[in-house]
Amino acid sequence: MAKKMNFDYDIIVIGSGAGGSAAATIAAREGKKVAIVESDTFGGTSPNWGDVPTKALLHAAHLLDEARLGARFGLRSTSMSYNYPTLRNWKDVAVKRTGAGGNRSYYQGEGIATLHGNAHFISPHEISVNRHTYTAASFIVATGASWSLPDIHGLSEATFITPRTILENIKPPKSLYIVGGGAIGVELAQLMATFGTKVYISDIASRLLPDYDSEVGELFEKLLSTQKNVNVLTQTRTVSIENENIARRITYNRGGHEHSLRVDEALVTAGHRPNVDIGLENAGVDYTAKGIVVNEHLQTSAKHIYATGDVLGHHDYTHAALMESKVAAHNLLSKNKLTADYTAMPRTVFTYPSIASVGLTEDDCLRRDLHVKKATAPLSIIARSNVSDFRDGFVKLITDKKGVLLGATIVSPNAEDMIHELALAIKYGLTAAQVAATPHAFLTWSEAIRVAANKLT
């Protein structure tokens, strides 16, 4: 039926972030007539107000930290300071350099029609954007997710900031209360504390970074508390956030006791809501509040519609969305379907030291009742820790009974780069013995991987 109709486009991609951009480009280069719809800034979250600007500021903060601590190496650097407007300008330069932020002209250069506005399905092959209707033989939905408001009294009336709006602050707040101890909350806690903000970070979970192995959260609670003077409030329920003149009054419950404090700003990082309010029911697409339902090929219940990225509610990593975007494009263009493979998908937190994990965590193994072996190598065991004067971190490996790697976690400088050796090992079923037998360059942090692997042989 779809082939007999005369459509405006072969493919319409809804969302220009990581989940949509690759698919649109691939389809256009294959000669398809493509349109891409964006309701916000072209390029989506990652280059505009997510990964790129946040990591640009985190890089600058790390340099400031290292310089301030240079006296231990004989460097006279204790008087180091910063200019926040210049730091914000550096953030903007980094965004511009990537070329992905606000990049409507890129798509137009690829011959892709760009539509700016909210897309809404009218029927399985028809959407409306700004009161205009457009039809297509196929669609890819990559509408992402938005920050959702947790159930906190007074929050809807209070003034608060988000991971997006905090980047536009003219200067760091003097004090900050963060709701949410996940990856973004911890990154921003360390960032703001480095620039002199008194930070409180709270989470209902028993540890920070609850999606990672317990050792990670325990180490970062210690590092944030002792090195940054951050107040870590785990097992804490935020009861209310209310405006108090130009400040915020926070009430929270911890250990059965209610506490109150006054801060300049409240930052909410807890809760993502997939953007599914686009008339999916009119297109016959099954979805829930947790996201769009897809099969292993990223195909929805409507066979001509695929979905990728955060709108699936599975993973919130840009590299996962990019992989899905490529898979969806291939499956729309080819009869030979690909499967979205998350086996070796790295998970990263760009703190210092940085955190990276791949495969199963120890909690995952317990939930699956898997019989595993594990080994941990502290960074202090390798020579690099001596020359860099850094010891707070580790490499942890998990294998099955035969020694095949199932999971890995690294807390170390450059962990986000080191993890790919272990991602490759997990993807292709290598053993700890094979990793241990691979020469690792002396005086690199990666020697800790060899030591941990050797413990499992």
Residue 78 has pLDDT above 80, yes or no: no
Q: In this structure, what DSSP letter does residue 380 have?
A: G
Give the residue, 76 or 120, on which the prediction is more confident: 120
Tell me which CATH homologous superfamily contains domain 2-44+101-147+273-333: FAD/NAD(P)-binding domain (3.50.50.60)
| SS3 (DSSP) at 47 | helix
Q: What is the mean pLDDT of residues 303-324?
A: 95
Residue 347 has pLDDT above 50, yes or no: yes
Question: Over the stretch 218-275, which tens digit does the pLDDT of each residue have?
Answer: 999 999 999 999 999 999 999 999 999 999 999 999 999 999 999 999 999 987 899 9
Q: What is the pLDDT of residue 376?
A: 98
Which one, of 22, 168, 184, 31, lies nearest residue 103 by Cα? 22
Q: What is the mean pLDDT of residues 196-217?
A: 97
Architecture of domain 165-270: 3-Layer(bba) Sandwich (3.50)
Q: What is the pLDDT of residue 353?
A: 97
Residue 433 has pLDDT above 80, yes or no: yes
Residue 1 has pLDDT above 60, yes or no: no
Which percentage of the chain shows pLDDT scores above 90? Answer: 93
Q: What is the mean pLDDT of residues 360-384?
A: 96
pTM for the predicted model, two decimal places: 0.95
CATH 3.30.390.30 domain residues, the chain = 347-454
Q: What is the mean pLDDT of residues 195-218?
A: 96
Which one, of 2, 37, 40, lies nearest residue 23 by Cα? 37
Architecture of domain 347-454: 2-Layer Sandwich (3.30)
Q: Kind and range of the H or E element at 28?
A: helix 18-29
Q: What is the mean pLDDT of residues 62-71?
A: 91
Give the residue, 314 or 218, on which the prediction is more confident: 218
CATH 3.50.50.60 domain residues, the chain = 2-44+101-147+273-333, 165-270
Q: What is the mean pLDDT of residues 1-29?
A: 90
| SS3 (DSSP) at 277 | coil
Rounded to the nearest integer, the mean pLDDT of the chain is 96
In the structure, what pLDDT confidence band is assigned to residue 74 with cuts at 50, 70 and 90?
very high
Q: Kind and range of the H or E element at 436?
A: helix 432-437
d(CA 23, CA 36): 10
Structure tokens at 353: 């030291």
Q: What is the pLDDT of residue 292?
A: 98
Question: Over the stretch 387-407, which tens digit does the pLDDT of each residue have?
Answer: 999 999 999 999 999 999 999
Q: What is the mean pLDDT of residues 192-197?
A: 96
* Residues linked to residue 134 through DSSP beta bridges, in sequence order: 127
Torsion angles phi and psi, residue 237, rounded to 5: -105, 120
Which one, of 166, 167, 168, 184, lies nearest residue 176 by Cα? 166
**Neighbour count for residue 178 (Cβ, 10 Å):** 30
Q: What is the pLDDT of residue 2?
A: 47
Question: Over the stretch 43-64, which tens digit does the pLDDT of each residue have?
Answer: 999 999 999 999 999 999 999 9
* Residues linked to residue 299 through DSSP beta bridges, in sequence order: 306
Q: What is the pLDDT of residue 4?
A: 59
Round to the nearest angstrom and report the end-to-end CA distance of the chain.
59
Q: What is the pLDDT of residue 71?
A: 87
Q: How far is Cα of residue 443 from the mean position of the Cα atoms in its chain? A: 30
Residue 65 has pLDDT above 60, yes or no: yes
